[in-house]
Amino acid sequence: MNTEDQLKEVVKERYGKIAEQDKAVNAASCCGATTPSNKVYNIMMDDYSAVEGYVSDADLGLGCGLPTQFAKISRGDTVIDLGSGAGNDCFVARHETGAEGKVIGIDFTPKMINKARINADKLGFNNVEFREGDIDNMPVADAIADVIVSNCVLNLVPNKPKVIKEIFRALKPGGHFSISDIVLEGQLPTALKADAEMYAGCVAGAIQKEDYLEQIKKAGFKEITVQKVKPIVIPDDILSKYLSESEVATFNKGNTGIFSISVYAKKPGVKALKPLVDIQAESCEPKTGCC
């Protein structure tokens, strides 16, 4: 379970199953990837229902934040969503970009891609597309995106510095990202850290908060800002799958903190101005002779 390829296969298999599950099952579990807790309905996810552009069919109850809420998306932007799932954040982003923008969702789970494409077709969105691929080797050209978003996905990738470098590559000069993800303060118990299901559940793959922010800085990003911090509490009935009763008590009283954080960062450079629309050319009618 220790190699990158093996970890990716664990995640792909788990999220392939999630694509076929009911939202209530996903939301009741630790990032949708473990046996549902009978003590809480949701553990990590934030409520999207009041967000403009929200599409309930695309919300599988996954995620740990609302990155599009902080992403400063403008009309006409090109936006990439990493780990796009059934398309939830893509459709919210599309509301911000408008019909003149473009949204690209990237996911390496075929069943998620298929579900997202069905949702986009139902909505009639011809400027939202979904590409199958790894987010540490994105199927996009250099400097293509104005904004990149992601919701609780980087923690699932074994080689996080590689993903962050890919984000830097794909952003235009002056472009930025807003990403929600899970980070740690303190060390997880070995039993949690080593378990494949907890890895797919967004916890075991998380790294220390300071390491996470340092990796973003090392990749060359500027204006790094933590936009939101939310503590994550794993219910005892999930912890008890991995820890003894005394270990659960020790963990709950210990110094280990699990957090969802939303981080903004900008790629250095000057963002190119979008071409202005010629209003006169658009509004005049040829038969009047005004053009």
E-only strand ranges, the chain: 78-82, 102-107, 128-132, 145-151, 171-185, 207-208, 222-231, 257-266
Higher-confidence residue of 235 and 67: namely 67
Q: What one-letter code names the amino acid at 104?
A: I
Q: Under the phi-then-psi rule, with left for phi > 0, alpha for psi from -120 to 50, and beta for the rest, what region is 288? A: alpha
> What per-residue confidence (pLDDT) applies to 242?
82
What is the rounded average pLDDT of the residues 68-89?
A: 96
Q: How far is CA 142 from CA 77, 101, 134, 168, 218, in A?
A: 16, 18, 15, 9, 19
Structure tokens at 181: 């993800």
244 CB burial (10 A radius; 0-12, 13-18, 19+): exposed
- Rounded to a whole number of angstroms, the distance between the first and last alpha carbons of the chain is 67
Query: Which whole number is the average pLDDT over 61-81?
Result: 93
- For residue 179, the model assigns a pLDDT of 97
Cα–Cα distance between 107 and 5 in angstroms, integer? Answer: 16
Q: Rounded CA gap, 45 and 66, in Å?
A: 9
pTM, full prediction: 0.84
Residue 21: per-residue pLDDT: 67
Confidence of residue 43 (pLDDT cuts 50, 70, 90): low
Return mean pLDDT, the chain.
83
The set of residues, in sequence order, having a beta carbon less than 8 Å from that of 131 and lying 6+ positions away, is 104, 105, 106, 113, 139, 140
Burial of 229 (0-12, 13-18, 19+ CB in 10 A): middle
pLDDT digits (tens, 9 = 90+) for 5-38: 766 776 767 777 777 766 555 444 444 444 443 3
Domains of the chain with CATH codes: 4-265 (3.40.50.150)
Rg of the chain over Cα atoms, rounded to whole angstroms, equals 20
Please give the residue that has the higher pLDDT: either 61 or 113.
Answer: 113
